[in-house]
C-alpha cells in the first residue's frame, strides 16, 4: 500500500507471501484470496512460483472439500510443467478418487508412474493403484502394484500395508499358505501396528477355516 509499491520488483511476491502466511495458519479462505491475487498478477510470467501457487490453491480447495476446484488447479500446475508436477498428479488422483471417478484416478496415477520414475510419490502411487484395482475387483492388477512396493521399497511406510493387501488377495483366492506367509511377516516385522492387528485377523480367519483354533492360539 506504500507509494510506488506497485512498480516495485517485490510487489507481486508480497501477495504470494501473504497467501502462504494464511496457508500455514490453515486459514484457507484467506489463502485462496491472496494466492488468486498473485496468480492474476503473474499468470503471464509462467514461473515456478506460479506453479507452486496453483498447487497450493489446489490444496486449499482440497482441504475445503471443493474437490473439482482442487482438480482444476492441480491441472494448471501440471500444465505449466515447471515444478512439482508429480505432486499435482498425485493430489489430483486422490481428489478424483474421492469424487468417485476411479478410471480418471487410475489414469492420473499411471501418468505419474510413467512420467516421473524418480518421484517421491511413486510409493504412494503404487499403493493407490493397488487399492483402486482392488475396488474394481481386479486382484491380478492390484497384486502387481503391491508386490512392486514390497520389492522396490523394502523400508517404506507402505510395505506393511501392501503385505496385508497381498495376504488378503491370496486368502480370497483360497491360497492360504501364501496368505499365511504374508500375514506372519507383518506380525513379525511390524508388531504393535494397525497392520499387525489386521494381519492377526486374517490369520484367525485362516485357522478357523482349517478348523485349527489351537494352532492359532498357540501362534
Per-residue pLDDT tens digits for 97-137:
999 999 999 999 999 999 999 999 999 999 999 999 999 99
pLDDT at 153: 84
Residue 211 has pLDDT above 80, yes or no: yes
Q: At what angle do helices 139-152 and 122-135 cross, to 10 degrees?
A: 160
**What are the pLDDT digits (tens) for 148-188?**
999 988 778 899 999 999 999 999 999 999 999 999 999 99
Return the C-alpha cell found at 184.
506372519
Q: Is the pLDDT of residue 88 over 90?
A: yes
Question: Given a cut of 90, is residue 56 above it in pLDDT?
Answer: yes
pLDDT band for position 2 (cuts 50, 70, 90) = confident
Question: Residue 121: CB partners within 8 Å, gap ≥ 6?
Answer: 86, 87, 89, 90, 112
Query: Contact, 203 vs 187, CB < 8 A?
Result: yes
Whole-angstrom CA distances from 104 to 3, 59, 71 are: 49, 19, 11
Phi and psi torsions of 11, nearest 5°: -60, -50
Q: How far apart are CA 114 and CA 158, in angstroms?
A: 20
The DSSP secondary-structure symbol of 82 reads S
Mean pLDDT along residues 17-24: 98
- Average confidence (pLDDT) over 30-34: 98
At residue 1, does pLDDT exceed 80? no
Residue 140, C-alpha cell as written in the block = 491380478
Q: What is the pLDDT of residue 7?
A: 80
- What's residue 45's pLDDT? 86
Cβ-based neighbours of 116, under 8 Å, separated by 6 or more: 85, 86, 89, 122
Q: How confident is the model at residue 38 (pLDDT cuts 50, 70, 90)?
A: very high
Owner of C-alpha cell 494466492: 35
- Tell me how many degrees the CA angle 102-106-108 measures, rounded to the nearest 5: 115
The pLDDT-based confidence of 9 (bands split at 50, 70, 90) is confident
Q: How far apart are CA 28 and CA 118, in angstroms?
A: 31
Give yes or no for a contact between 21 and 35, defined as CB atoms under 8 angstroms apart: no
pLDDT over 90 (residue 8)? no
User: In the structure, what pLDDT confidence band is assigned to residue 14 with cuts at 50, 70 and 90?
Assistant: very high
Amino acid at each position: 500500500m506504500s507509494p510506488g509499491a506497485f512498480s516495485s520488483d517485490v510487489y507481486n511476491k508480497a501477495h504470494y507471501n501473504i497467501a502462504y502466511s494464511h496457508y500455514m495458519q490453515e486459514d484457507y479462505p484467506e489463502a485462496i484470496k491472496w494466492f488468486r491475487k498473485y496468480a492474476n498478477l503473474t499468470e503471464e510470467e509462467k514461473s515456478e512460483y506460479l506453479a507452486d501457487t496453483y498447487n497450493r490453491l489446489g490444496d486449499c480447495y482440497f482441504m475445503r472439500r471443493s474437490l473439482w476446484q482442487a482438480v482444476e488447479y492441480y491441472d494448471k500446475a501440471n500444465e505449466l510443467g515447471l515444478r512439482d508436477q508429480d505432486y499435482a498428479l498425485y493430489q489430483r488422483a486422490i481428489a478424483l478418487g474421492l469424487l468417485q471417478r476411479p478410471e480418471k484416478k487410475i489414469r492420473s496415477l499411471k501418468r505419474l508412474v510413467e512420467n516421473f520414475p524418480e518421484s517421491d510419490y511413486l510409493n504412494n502411487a503404487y499403493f493407490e493403484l493397488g487399492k483402486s484395482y482392488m475396488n474394481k475387483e481386479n486382484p491380478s492388477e492390484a497384486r502387481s502394484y503391491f508386490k512392486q512396493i514390497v520389492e522396490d521399497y523394502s523400508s517404506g511406510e507402505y510395505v506393511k500395508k501392501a503385505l496385508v493387501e497381498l495376504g488378503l488377495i491370496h486368502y480370497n483366492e483360497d491360497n492360504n499358505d501364501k496368505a499365511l506367509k504374508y500375514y506372519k511377516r507383518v506380525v513379525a516385522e511390524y508388531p504393535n501396528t494397525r497392520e499387525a492387528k489386521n494381519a492377526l485377523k486374517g490369520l484367525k480367519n485362516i485357522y478357523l477355516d482349517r478348523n485349527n483354533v489351537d494352532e492359532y492360539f498357540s501362534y
